[in-house]
Chain A
Amino acid sequence: MYEILKKRVLAENIIEYVVFAPAVAKHCLAGQFIILRVDSEGERVPFTICDYSREEGTVSILVQTVGFTTMKLAEMKEGDDIHDFVGPLGNSTDLSEFKRILLVGGGIGTAVILPQSKQLKQDNKPADAIVGARNTSLLMYAEEMQANCKNTYFMTDDGSNGNKGFVTDKLRALLDAGEKYDAVFAVGPLPMMRAVCNLTKEYGVHTIVSMNSMMVDGTGMCGCCRLSVGNETKYACVDGPEFDGHLVDFDEAISRSRIYTEQEKDHVCKLRGKHNG
């Protein structure tokens, strides 16, 4: 059992959980993930580690309430226990070989680029960042990102913060204006990462993405998380989650992410039904 020590709503349907998991906290690094099961009947769902404290034995995850498991999580309170919480899984992010870096975060993907912005600042090579969301109220970690980065640009789909457009609009503008980056690290929904990669390919800028595939075990045992990278099959859980974005077959990844859409809808309906009834 893994206790939720803190629960903080960052934006509508976006919640940060600080979980007591000393064994995970002991070895984890930014970019790695955990797999949890809410209760004894729960499914296994992966979440990226967005912060941790070895001293306090805690691991933080950021969760967007979208489906059955995340809805169940949202119902839990501080002091409640998560049934299973295993990790750290996958490989950590290592941007040390690059000098000038652009971080791109879409939605809760921002939680994954935040620790990198902190690290890069510590290494004395603060990054630039583009953070995107549907509207202003969904923009996360604005202050932290601004404090860590040289330049931070915020974009909203609806223009509610005054900067209407997608992260790719800003990205193109920066590259057109002659900004030179050694690497782009982009994390967000699959269509966003695909759009970023299509663009950076055009401009010849190396791009790393973090793939949030569906998983079961998270240790290489089932192949559920597989994706095509440069015509080779890779496992997001053990070979990733980060890959060269220019080699990832995003169309396939998007198609694979939809395999259980119908069943998921059904479960969410049941959960809602139970609450209403």
Chain B
Amino acid sequence: MDNSKRNSMPTQSAEVRANNFKEVALGYDDETALKEANRCLNCKNAPCIKGCPVGVNIPGFISQLAKGNKDEAVKVLKGDNNLPAICGRVCPQENQCEMFCVRKAKLGGSVGIGNLERYTADYALEKDIEAKKVEHIGKRVAIVGSGPAGLSCAGELAIMGVEVVIFEALHKAGGVLVYGIPEFRLPKSLVQKEIDKVIALGVEIRLNQVVGKTVMIDELLDEYDAVFIGSGAGLPAFLKIPGENLCGVYSANEYLTRVNLMKAYDKDAITPIQRAKKAVVVGAGNVAMDSARTAIRLGSECHLVYRRSRTEMPARAAEIEHAEEEGVIFDLLTNPLEILGENGFVKGIRCIKMELGEPDASGRRSPVAIKGSEFEIECDQVVVALGTTPNPLIKNSFKALETSRKGTLVCDEETLQTSVERVYAGGDAMTGAATVILAMGAGKKAAKNIYNKIMNK
């Protein structure tokens, strides 16, 4: 039996990358990719596919790679995934496809499916496989938001001959891919290439258009055959503890937006960011890891405070490892009580130690405070990364849209239509903060249903 070990992804060394914003993971070279592709056992029942939210034909594209047919591999991959260069970099593969890989436990570790996806997709981007223009079928669809959900819905509809206009609130397209996820994990030039491809299909992107303010949903319904809402879940949660409005306390959204979208990492950028001596990041998801690793790159010492233990950390395994290698200090089983200030600026954070109690509704063991264990961490910055919920702005301007208690848009699970005829939704706006691949999948699914609807099928 072939027991070969999984080929690891080459990275910039931790000491070097902690001082730059360039991409950390460097990608497989041809030889490594070929070796890794040949590790795939091409299982008949392909358990990995069940782990993929959009059902990518994984053994299909990997076996093409193994045969040296890169162009074929691209075709198979792109059949199921519109944004593979992005997903290859940011999907939590260890909890999806790779978790079900037969090689995982005993045969040298799961096949590097994500790494191979990235390799294949980057090849396709380099080759610039031309998008072909299609003939218009005389139908128009408006899309709200240019994140992965909106982009994939747009691309899919455009291919079917629908005229598509995307309305984006910010001055740049891409959603979380441009304002949230940092350059060192997802290069913006790559995101731009994916967006350019969508534009090449004939999709128009109108920037600086806040739907619900600049243009209303009912106006869009007058002008278009259908509307897709992919407005994400952009509303940040705060801790609701004293001191949270001190200077130096940021939501992760603000912190990352300033650095990524507004390029504040560049000392000459016009948009300012506070460069801290010591930053404390609260939370342990991808957003928290991105914030902590950004703080390190801005020259801060960085502590990450999380109220549960390491096994409960929701971030991708690779991000947790990378953060630790880069010098982020994890203060686990620790809960913030109060942010301390002096002259209006942060000077510390008072926390309490926690221990794990009984499992809660989510199945995770819930943390309980240990009496009398309060202590202070001295710091001059606090970044709060506790998750986000959908922005009520669209709902407030268009009351007919039904939302859940959490603010997510209520949709029919099969068609993704909202409570309003001809209005569809998907991605974080419908699910709450989730993943790129789910948002992309939802955009694609909605596109099919929108097409059927407007063609009266």
Q: Do A and B bind each other?
A: yes
Q: Is the CB of A23 within 8 A of B254?
A: no
Q: Is the CB of A260 within 8 A of B272?
A: yes
Q: Pick the residue among A87, A227, A267 that contacts B245 (CB under 8 A).
A: A227
B169: nearest chain-A partner, CB-CB = A219
Q: Is the CB of B214 within 8 A of A86?
A: yes
Q: Is the CB of B214 within 8 A of A226?
A: no
Of A38-46, A133-141, A154-162, A194-202, which stretch is located at the interface?
A: A38-46
A90: nearest chain-B partner, CB-CB = B213
Q: Is the CB of B236 within 8 A of A221?
A: yes
Q: Is the CB of B236 within 8 A of A223?
A: yes
Given A84-B171, A228-B245, A255-B247: A219 in contact with B270 (beta carbons within 8 A): no
A225: nearest chain-B partner, CB-CB = B254
Q: Mark A86-103, 1 if CB is under 8 A from B, else 0.
A: 111100000000000000
Q: Is the CB of B245 within 8 A of A37?
A: no
Q: Is the CB of B262 within 8 A of A221?
A: no
Is residue A118 within 8 Å, beta carbon to beta carbon, of the partner chain?
no
Q: Mark A45-89, 1 if CB is under 8 A from B, else 0.
A: 000000000000000000000001100000000000001111111
Which residues in B have their C-beta under 8 angstroms from that of A14?
Answer: none
CB distance from A227 to the nearest CB of B (A): 7
Q: Is the CB of B391 within 8 A of A219?
A: yes
Q: Pick the residue among A68, A222, A256 that contacts B257 (CB under 8 A).
A: A222
Q: Mark B229-247, 1 if CB is under 8 A from A, else 0.
A: 0000011101000001111
Of B83-91, B118-126, B131-139, B203-211, which stretch is located at the interface?
A: B203-211
Within 8 A of A (CB), among B247-306: 247-248, 250-251, 253-254, 257-258, 262-263, 268-272, 274
Which residues in B have their C-beta under 8 angstroms from that of A89?
Answer: 210, 213
Report, as a range, how many residues of chain A touch the other chain.
Answer: 35 or more
Is residue A151 within 8 Å, beta carbon to beta carbon, of the partner chain?
no
CB distance from A123 to the nearest CB of B (A): 25
Q: Is the CB of B247 within 8 A of A256?
A: yes
Q: Is the CB of A88 within 8 A of B169?
A: no
Which residues in B have their C-beta under 8 angstroms from that of A233?
Answer: 238, 244-245
Q: Mark B341-356, 1 if CB is under 8 A from A, else 0.
A: 0011100000000000
Report, as a range, how many residues of chain B touch the other chain.
Answer: 35 or more
Which residues in A have their C-beta under 8 angstroms from that of B34?
Answer: none
CB distance from A168 to the nearest CB of B (A): 24
Which residues in A have their C-beta under 8 angstroms from that of B393?
Answer: 219-220, 238
Is residue A16 within 8 Å, beta carbon to beta carbon, of the partner chain?
no
Which residues in A have their C-beta under 8 angstroms from that of B215?
Answer: 23, 27
CB distance from B16 to the nearest CB of A (A): 27
Within 8 A of B (CB), among A255-277: 255-256, 258-260, 263-264, 267, 270
Which residues in A have their C-beta under 8 angstroms from that of B102?
Answer: none
Given A23-B215, A84-B171, A264-B272: A43 in contact with B251 (beta carbons within 8 A): no
Which residues in B have their C-beta under 8 angstroms from that of A259?
Answer: 247-248, 274, 345
Nearest first, the 5 A-B pairs at minimum CB distance are: A255-B344, A222-B254, A86-B208, A263-B272, A259-B247
Residues on A lying within 8 angstroms of B by beta carbon are: 23-24, 27, 37, 41-44, 68-69, 83-89, 216-217, 219-224, 226-228, 233, 238, 252, 255-256, 258-260, 263-264, 267, 270
Would you list 13 pairs from A and B whose C-beta atoms are within 8 A, ordered by A residue?
Answer: A27-B216, A41-B263, A84-B171, A84-B208, A87-B213, A89-B210, A219-B210, A222-B253, A223-B251, A226-B245, A228-B245, A255-B343, A258-B247
Given contacts A27-B214, A259-B274, 14 further A-B contacts (CB under 8 A): A23-B215, A41-B263, A43-B271, A84-B207, A85-B208, A87-B210, A87-B214, A219-B210, A222-B254, A223-B238, A226-B245, A233-B238, A255-B246, A260-B272
